[in-house]
């Protein structure tokens, strides 16, 4: 079945450091790919998405490129801030599987220190 694998956390960075959170996937169809962010005590918010190969999703300085050849959707940000501290989830939606829920990775906790 479909699956998402993302790097284990926690990740601790200093403010203004470069961030990469790796995400790879397996899917039977042609999935859409998502990054969601969860701030402490809150639900999930969509951070960015990409619906086809080579698409780049971007938002709030974060970006990720849908790489079909490597089945990856790595999240990057050039300069993190303390306010970026949160848990980041990579997810896919394989519409070829009907109306099924998103498949999530296990999440990566990011802590940014001043």
Binding site for another protein (CB under 8 A): 32, 34, 36, 41-46, 49, 51, 89, 93-95, 99-102, 104-107, 109
* Shortest distance in whole angstroms from residue 34 CB to another protein: 7
- Listed as own residue / partner, the contacts of 46-53 with beta carbons closer than 8 Å and 24 or more positions apart are 47/75, 47/88
Q: CB nearer to another protein: give 10 or 70.
A: 10
* Shortest distance in whole angstroms from residue 71 CB to another protein: 17
Q: CB nearer to another protein: give 44 or 80.
A: 44
Burial class, 111, CB count within 10 angstroms (exposed 0-12 / middle 13-18 / buried 19+):
middle
Q: CB nearer to another protein: give 78 or 105.
A: 105
* Cβ partners under 8 Å of residue 101, min gap 6: none
**111 in Cβ contact with 13 (< 8 Å):** yes
* Shortest distance in whole angstroms from residue 70 CB to another protein: 21
């Amino acid at each position: 079945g479909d699956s998402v694998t993302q790097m284990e956390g926690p990740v601790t960075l200093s403010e203004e450091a470069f961030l990469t959170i790796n995400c790879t996937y397996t899917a039977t169809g042609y999935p859409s790919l998502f990054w969601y962010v969860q701030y402490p005590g809150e639900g999930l918010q969509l951070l960015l998405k990409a619906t086809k190969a080579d698409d780049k999703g971007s938002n709030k300085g974060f970006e990720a490129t849908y790489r079909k050849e490597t089945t990856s959707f790595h999240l990057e940000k050039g300069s993190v801030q303390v306010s970026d501290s949160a848990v980041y989830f990579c997810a896919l939606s394989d519409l070829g599987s009907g109306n099924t829920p998103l498949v999530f990775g296990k999440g990566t906790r990011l802590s940014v220190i001043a």
